[in-house]
Structure 1
C-alpha cells in the first residue's frame, strides 16, 4: 500500500531543452537530464532553479549542497508534519520570524507549490531528506516518492494506517542561500562558496518563542565577512527578509552560547580569513530542532544545506500567506536600513541601528555639543561616541553610574550641580528599559546622595530607588572584587560603567578642578574601577565631561593638554571606551537617555537585540512607559531645585541658585532639554 500523494506532472523543460515534440513525457524528462549533464559539465551555478530541480529529481550526484546554486533566487527549508500539528507550527513560525520566515504552507497532501515553483514535486526535488520518528532521525533518503515501504513499516509499528500520510502538511521556509547571489553582486565574498563547503550552522543557547508543542533553541548560520564589508552584508540581506533578513549577531560567538566555531552542529566548518568577522544569520534549521524537541510520530525535513530551489527572485521580496495564497509586496523604507557599528573589542561585538535612529542620535550629539559657556569643548569631540555608547548601553543589563565633582572645596557640601541630574536622567530611562542600575559615590557624600535619590523617588523624577554604594581601596585587587563576583573576571557584576561629571585622576595622581586646585582629599579612587574594567572582558565604560578633567576623558587627554586652559595639569589620565563631550555634562546624560529611547524604538536595533525572535517592535505599554521616563523640563527643574535645597552650587560661579555651570536653568538648560525631546519624539524638522 503506497502513500496517497497526488500525481504531479513532469517538469516542463522548455523549447531550448526539448529535441523532439514527439517524445513521450518520460522520454522528454530523460532526454532533458542527459542534455543538461552533457552541456553544463560542472557549471551548475549557471543553471536556473527549474533545471536544477530536474537534475535533483534525477539524483544528479554533483549536487551535494545548494549553496552557490540558483543565484538570485530564493531557496527554502522544508518541514513536513502531520496535519494536527500544522496550526501550532504556523504560530511557531509567526512568533520566530527571523529563523522561520514562512514562504508557503501547503494543503494536506499537497506536493506542489505553484506560487513558489512551477511543476515542482516536494517528494523528489530536494537532493536529500531526513526522516524523523518520535523526534529521532531514523534515515536520510534521496526521495520521498518511493518511500512507501519505509512508510508502511513505520506505520505498522505505530498502528497507524499508511494512508494517513495524505494528511501531511508541508512548510516552506526562507533560506539564507537565497541572498548569497546578492552578496556576491555587492562585492561581499561568500567564504563557504569560495571554499566549496556547506555553510556552518550552530545551535545556540538562545531559546525561541514557544508555540504549542514547539520550543527549541535558535539555530544560526555563520559566514565570515571582511570587516570592511559588514555594512554591505547587513544592508543587502536586510532587503531580503524572506531569506532571514539582516544578521542577528556579529562578533564573538560566545554571546550566542557557541563555544567552538570549528565544530558546527550542522554543515561544514568554514574558515575565517585575515580581517574577517563572524556574522550570524538566523537559520531555518531551527525547524529541525523544533521537530527533535516536539517529537512528532513522523516528520520529514530537508537535510541541512540541501534546499528546495524556488522560482522566486530574491529581489522581488514576495511573501505568500498560507491562507490567501496571495503575494504581498514587502515595502522597504531607506530610513529603516540598518547600519553596523563596532561597540566592543574584547569581546568583539557589533550592533545595528537604522539610518533614521543613527541620524537622530547624531542630531542629539550636535545639540549637546553647543558651547554657550565658551569653554572650547568642540575640540574634544569624537564622532559617534554618543551613538556607540548608547548602542553598548542598550545591550547592557547591569549598569553602574558614578558622578560627583567637589570643585567648591571651600564650601560644604563641595559638590556642583552638574552631574547628578544627568546621572538620574540616565538611570530613570535604564530602569524603564528593565536594566539593573547602581550608583557609586564617595563615602563623604553617601548620606547626601541617598537623600537626593529618596527625594527624586518621592517627587516622581525616579520611578524607583537605586542602590547606592561606595568603593574604597581596602585590600589588594579591591577593584576586581568590586566589579566581579568573588573577584572572578568571568563573572562581572556590571557590564557597563558610566561616569558623568566625575572628577578624574590626572597624570600625577591628583584630582584638579578647572582652576588647577587639587581636590584629591575629597575624592575616592573610583577611577580604579575604570582602569580594572579595561582588563575584564564584557565591561564597557563611558565618560561624560565638558572640560577634560572628568573621569573617562583620558581618551582625549592629548587634546585636553594642548587645547584646554591648564590642560597639562588638569587633564584626566584615565580613559573610557567612549568619551562623550557636551557643553554641560548634564546634557550628555539627557542625550544618553534619549538615545536609548531611540534605539529601543528602532525596529532594526530591536530585531538585532532580540535575535529576530518574538515581536520586533515595542508594545503600546512599553512605549508609554519609556516616553514617560524621558528627561523633561519639569523633572530636570525639580531635581535641580532639590540640589539647591541641599546646598549644592553652580560649578562655574558657586552660586546657590537654579543654574549649572553659570548658565541659568531658564532659558538655557530648559531650551536644550526641549530640543532634545523634539528630536527624540519626532517633532523636530
Structure 2
C-alpha cells in the first residue's frame, strides 16, 4: 500500500489508478496530488439534470460546476484522461428516494442504470489547500491526517425545481495572524469555492458544536486559531436528499475525484480586487470581508468628517477604522435601533438642536434601502414632535418609508433587556445593532451635561441603559456618533475627552459603544455611515460574503444611490426641523444652521465631498 506522504506528490492519473485497483486504504483524498483540482461528484437521473445545473448556477459558491457529462458518459475529457467515474473515487454513497442506503467502493455494478444518468463534477476545497500552505498557512486537517470538518448550516440555498436545501460548509482552524493570507490564497479560486463565507463564531451559521461535524472528522484547533468556513460541495449531497430521486449517487464526503487540472489553470483572472479581513466583534468572535478599494474609500470618508471646525480638540478623540468596523457590523445586521436627541437648549421649547436628526434619518434611509428593519427610540416628551418631523420628511421625499418611533420607560431593573429582547431573553434580540447619534450621554456622576456644563437630566430618558444592556446580549453591537465627547457611546474615548475637551472632566459620557465615530459635526458622521453602507453593499467581495455565496448578487446601485443623503434632501430636512422650532446647537439660532455653521456652504460642501468619494 502507498503511504499518504507519497500520495501528495503522485500525479493524478497514478492516484486514480491506485484508487481504481483498491490499493489505497485511507479515508479521504485531502492532500493527494497536491496542486491539482479535486472534485465533488453528483450522479442523477437525466430528467433532473437541467434543474440541478440551474441549482448549481444559482449557488455557485458551494457548487461551482466544472463539468456536466452526457448521459452514460463515464469519462470527463475536460478534466482528466483515462478516468472512469464508476471506479475512481475512494468511496461512493447511494441514495434511494432521498434516503442514504449505503457506501460503495465502486459503481460498476450499476453500469446499466448509469447509462441514463448524468454526472456533475463540482469544485472542491481540497483543491486550494496546497495554495494556502504555500503562503505559510497551516492546514490542520492535513497535519492531523483527518478528513476536513463539514457542517450543515441554517443558511438556505436558492431553490430550483425539486432541489432545495441549506448550505454545507467546511471549517479549517486558521491562526489569527494568517487570516489575511488564507483569504488571499482562496480569493481568486472561485472554481473551488473561492474565499470564505464566514470567519469567527459558528453560532452565526447555526452550528452549535464544532467537535460534532455532520460529515468528515473533528479537527483540533491550536491556541490562537480562528474558525474559518468555506462553502462546501457536500451541499450537493443535501440537494440530492431533497429531490428524493428514485436512485442517485454521490462521492462519499472527503473521497473526491482527482482531476488532471492544475490549480493555477483554474484561477479566476477577474478577481482583481484585493480582500481585507476585519474583526467586527470579539465576543462572539466575528470578522467580515471587504475589498481594499472599498475599505480605503471608507477610510477617506472617516478623514473627511474628522475635521474640527470649532477647534474643540476632537482630533484627539479619533480612532482609526471605527467607521469601517461600525458599518461592516451594520451591514451584517438585520434590525437596527437608532436614537438621537440632545436637549441642550433647556430654556426653549423644544430644547432639541438641529444636529442629530438629519444624520439619524440619513442612516435610516440607507438601511431601509438595503432591506433592513429600522426603528428610532427617543424621549417620550418628544414623541409627538418627532412623529410630525417624520411625516414631513416622507411628504418631502427625504424618507421613502415610515420609521417606527419608540420611547423607552424604565420601570424595573430588567426593563432594558425586555425592551431589546423578546420576553427579555438574550437569545432572542429584537435588534442586532444600536446606533446613537448626537444623543445626550450619561456622565460618570449619573447626570447629563451639555457642552456648557448645564445639567439637562430632567429632559433625558435613560436610553443609555439600552446600550449598557446590549453589552450583555451576544451578537448585538453598538455605535456611538458624536462631536464633543458628551454623546451616548463616546464613553469608549472618555479619557481623551477628559484630557482634551473643554469641561471634559465633568461632561464626558461614561457609557461606551463598541464603535465610536467622531466627526466635526455629528450629522456628518451619519452621512458618512450612509455612504459607507452604500460602498460596502456595492462591493462584490463584501456582498458575496453577506449572502454566504448562495443565491445571486443583490446589486441595486440605482435604488441605493437614491437613498443617500444629498444637498437638496438635507436642506429640506433642516427646513423641517427649523419649522418645528429646533435650534442650532452652538448659537441657539432658529436658522438654517447646525452647530453655528450655516448650511450653505459648510454643510452642503461636506455632503458633496462625501458623495464625491462615494459615487
Task: Decide which of 445, 455, 462 is 1:508's aligned counterpart.
Answer: 445
The Cα shift of 1:41 comes to 8.3
Contact 1:438 1:466 (8 Å CA) reproduced: yes
SS state of the match for residue 445, structure 2? Answer: coil
The Cα shift of 1:257 comes to 1.5
Matched residue, 2:584: 650
Matched residue, 1:331: 269
Task: Decide which of 204, 209, 227 is 2:176's aligned counterpart.
Answer: 227
Structure 2 Cα separation of the partners of residues 572 and 284 of structure 1: 50
Matched residue, 2:484: 547
Structure 1 Cα separation of the partners of residues 271 and 95 of structure 2: 41
Task: Decide which of 345, 348, 373 is 1:408's aligned counterpart.
Answer: 345
Alignment of 1:259 with 2:193, yes or no, is no
Contact 2:188 2:271 (8 Å CA) reproduced: no
SS state of the match for residue 408, structure 1? Answer: coil
SS state of the match for residue 93, structure 1? Answer: helix
Deviations 1:350-409 (A, max 9, x none): 111111211111111111112222222111111111011111111111111111111111
Task: Decide which of 90, 100, 105 is 2:68's aligned counterpart.
Answer: 105
SS state of the match for residue 648, structure 1? Answer: coil
Matched residue, 1:614: 551
SS state of the match for residue 679, structure 1? Answer: helix
Structure 2 runs not aligned, ≥5 long = none
Matched residue, 1:462: 399
Structure 2 counterparts to residues 67-216 of structure 1, below 5 A: 67-145=30-108, 147=109, 151=110, 163-216=112-165
SS state of the match for residue 612, structure 2? Answer: helix
The Cα shift of 1:575 comes to 0.2
Matched residue, 2:187: 238
Task: Decide which of 456, 461, 466 is 1:519's aligned counterpart.
Answer: 456
Matched residue, 2:511: 574
The Cα shift of 1:471 comes to 1.1
Structure 2 Cα separation of the partners of residues 290 and 588 of structure 1: 45
SS state of the match for residue 541, structure 1? Answer: strand
Task: Decide which of 592, 596, 600 is 1:662's aligned counterpart.
Answer: 596
Matched residue, 2:326: 389
Contact 2:299 2:324 (8 Å CA) reproduced: yes
SS state of the match for residue 223, structure 1? Answer: strand
SS state of the match for residue 485, structure 2? Answer: coil
Deviations 1:263-317 (A, max 9, x none): 1110001112211111111100111111111111111111110001111121222
Task: Decide which of 19, 29, 43 is 2:6's aligned counterpart.
Answer: 43
Deviations 1:595-635 (A, max 9, x none): 111111111111111111111241xxx32221111100000
SS state of the match for residue 327, structure 2? Answer: helix
TM-score (norm 2): 0.98
Contact 1:456 1:462 (8 Å CA) reproduced: yes
Contact 1:603 1:617 (8 Å CA) reproduced: no
Matched residue, 1:34: none
Deviations 1:520-567 (A, max 9, x none): 111111111111111111211000001111000000011111111111
Structure 1 Cα separation of the partners of residues 54 and 5 of structure 2: 41
Contact 2:4 2:32 (8 Å CA) reproduced: no
Structure 1 runs not aligned, ≥5 long = 1-36, 152-161, 319-329
Contact 1:602 1:617 (8 Å CA) reproduced: no
SS state of the match for residue 160, structure 2? Answer: coil
Q: How many residues align?
A: 615
The Cα shift of 1:164 comes to 4.8
TM-score (norm 1): 0.88
Contact 2:197 2:229 (8 Å CA) reproduced: yes
SS state of the match for residue 266, structure 1? Answer: coil
Larger Rg: 1
Structure 2 Cα separation of the partners of residues 105 and 337 of structure 1: 31
More deviation in 549-558 or 562-571? 562-571
The Cα shift of 1:333 comes to 4.1
Matched residue, 1:4: none
Task: Decide which of 304, 307, 310 is 1:370's aligned counterpart.
Answer: 307
Contact 1:174 1:244 (8 Å CA) reproduced: yes
Matched residue, 2:248: 299
Structure 2 Cα separation of the partners of residues 283 and 367 of structure 1: 42
The Cα shift of 1:347 comes to 2.0
* CA RMSD, 1 decimal: 1.4
The Cα shift of 1:43 comes to 2.2
The Cα shift of 1:188 comes to 0.9
Matched residue, 1:349: 286
Alignment of 1:626 with 2:575, yes or no, is no
The Cα shift of 1:50 comes to 1.9
Structure 1 Cα separation of the partners of residues 20 and 440 of structure 2: 72
Alignment of 1:475 with 2:412, yes or no, is yes
SS state of the match for residue 548, structure 1? Answer: coil
